Amino acid sequence: MKLKDLATLPKVRDSSSYLYVEHCRIEQDANAIAIIDIQGTTSVPCANLTTLMVGPGSTITHSAVKTLADNGCLVMWSGEGAVRFYALGLGETRSSRHLLRQAYLSSLPSLRLRVVRRMYEMRFEEVLPEDFTIQQLRGREGVRVRTAYSQASYKTGIPWKGRSFNKNNWTEGDPVNRALSCANSCLYGVCHAAIVSAGYSPALGFIHTGRMLSFVYDIADLYKADITIPLAFDIVKESEHDIETRTRHFLRDRFHEARFLSRIIPDIEQALDINTDGAEAAFEDMEDFAPGGLWNGGDTSVIGGVNYADPLPPEPTPNPSEPPASTGGQSEPPASTGGQKLKKGDSIRKPKHSLLEPPASTSSQSFTDDLSAKRDAEVKQLLDSVNKKLEAENKDHLILPDAKTTESKKPPSDPDDLPWEQGGQAF
């Protein structure tokens, strides 16, 4: 897969592409950065730097980060010796074509199988048969890894009892397994840094799946048999004291001597260099700083940064010779149409009432007033009859009409809601 622009791929083959610093202060120095430590001040031109790895004990100013970003340098916060990966900023790889191609290859089973086969072929010296299934490829890989353990054990004289790891009890594992876990963790950190710096996703794996670092595991497995497995046995052979720290230091030196970072991204490109019958053209034709496309359904897209709203239809020109539309003999003002002119035959919908004015009185108002007066008279008549009955029984107390009871109360506006009904008719 050819590159159209070097900005899409960090220059990891260049010795100055990756710079690791620790226990220092990083400040802006004109168009460069100044690295200040106990040995003095060192000026580093940002234009010749692709990735700056900031190790422990380091501080960096806001102006220095801005200068690095303006020059397209990716800033990563890593562990000691760049063998841990914690966070990163924005680098020069602003195009998403690598990520889109990775997603495309991992989404189609036929293409994914070809990538898996390519990754397995990169681990073996011999050519694999074309008719091998994925189960047979995994079996062949298992034999290769088991052979690597046996050879390292035979060479160092350290017995090998099998891979075991208990995350809840780190010290339970034997020295070789602890060294292996530590070395693999460092390997994952370096592969992770290289993957994200090149614009790939660490989560879209091919052999591994279901984890946020699936692609990291895919790439790291290319190097375990050659790097971490022999190193773990060598560490234990030398001493079983302080295994974790010594493993990190030895692996850091091994990465530096073998220029390991310069191998990772070319190996990724080789693994994903699968013929897709021209499907990757949609990814390659996008400019790095142009607006992104808009999905148009299926496998098509349209140019982004464009307003695709339908043009407004022209307003009709009124004809003065035509009479206004009939409104049933009543003269009503034209209703608001939101700035559009009415055409002949259009109906005008009048709002019920304004939100700022109360509704006009209806003809049912006088009817409800009559009901209220009739109700008060009936209540008074009922109370009078009760008082007369109590007086006849020589009761000492009387029930007199209460002013609040006989006070006229406004009934519901709808006569059908009144409780005084007889035979379905209000009285």
* CATH code for position 64: 3.100.10.20
Domain that holds residue 25: 13-92
Per the confidence metrics, is the pTM higher than 0.75? no
pLDDT digits (tens, 9 = 90+) for 138-154: 999 999 999 999 999 99
Q: Which of 46, 73, 92 is the C-terminal boundary of a domain?
A: 92
Q: Where is mean pLDDT largest: 236-240, 242-246, 260-264, 360-364?
A: 236-240
Q: Would 71 be classed as within a structural domain?
A: yes
Q: Tell me, what DSSP letter sits at residue 225?
A: T
Higher pLDDT among residues 11 and 372, named by residue? 372
In this structure, the answer to whether residues 161 and 262 fall within a common structural domain is yes
In this structure, the answer to whether residues 199 and 118 fall within a common structural domain is yes
**Residue 59, beta-bridge partner list:** 25
Q: Would 325 be classed as within a structural domain?
A: no
Torsion region of 100: left, alpha or beta (phi above 0 gives left; psi -120 to 50 gives alpha): alpha
| Amino acid 4: pLDDT | 38
pLDDT, average across residues 284-300: 63
Residue that is written with structure tokens 């501080």 in the block: 59
In this structure, the answer to whether residues 120 and 172 fall within a common structural domain is yes
| Amino acid 208: pLDDT | 93
| Amino acid 94: pLDDT | 57
Q: Would 189 be classed as within a structural domain?
A: yes
What's the CA gap between 378 and 384, in Å, rounded? 10
| Amino acid 375: pLDDT | 73
What's the CA gap between 32 and 331, in Å, rounded? 80
Q: Which of 243, 275, 307 is the C-terminal boundary of a domain?
A: 275
Q: Would 21 be classed as within a structural domain?
A: yes
Q: Where is mean pLDDT largest: 66-80, 160-174, 183-197, 199-213?
A: 199-213
Name the strand (E) or helix (H) holding 35: strand 32-37
Q: Would 323 be classed as within a structural domain?
A: no
Does 195 have pLDDT greater than 50? Answer: yes
> How many folded domains does the chain comprise?
2
Does 82 have pLDDT greater than 60? Answer: no
In this structure, the answer to whether residues 131 and 185 fall within a common structural domain is yes
| Amino acid 421: pLDDT | 43
Higher pLDDT among residues 93 and 18, named by residue? 18
In this structure, the answer to whether residues 98 and 50 fall within a common structural domain is no
Per the CB < 8 A criterion, the answer to whether 188 and 213 are in contact is: yes
Q: Which of 39, 61, 92 is the C-terminal boundary of a domain?
A: 92
What's the CA gap between 131 and 356, in Å, rounded? 81
Per the CB < 8 A criterion, the answer to whether 239 and 226 are in contact is: no
Q: Would 333 be classed as within a structural domain?
A: no
Residue that is written with structure tokens 């690095």 in the block: 68
Task: Give the sign of the dihedral formed by CA 177, CA 180, CA 186, CA 191.
Answer: negative
Per the CB < 8 A criterion, the answer to whether 112 and 104 are in contact is: no
Give the strand pairing for 59-60 and 25-29.
Answer: parallel
| Amino acid 323: pLDDT | 60
What's the CA gap between 402 and 382, in Å, rounded? 13
In this structure, the answer to whether residues 47 and 29 fall within a common structural domain is yes
Q: Would 350 be classed as within a structural domain?
A: no
Burial of 73 (C-beta count, 10 Å sphere; 0-12/13-18/19+) = buried
Q: Would 111 be classed as within a structural domain?
A: yes
What's the CA gap between 317 and 341, in Å, rounded? 9
Per the CB < 8 A criterion, the answer to whether 95 and 8 are in contact is: yes
Does 86 have pLDDT greater than 90? Answer: no
pLDDT, average across residues 290-307: 69
In this structure, the answer to whether residues 81 and 145 fall within a common structural domain is no
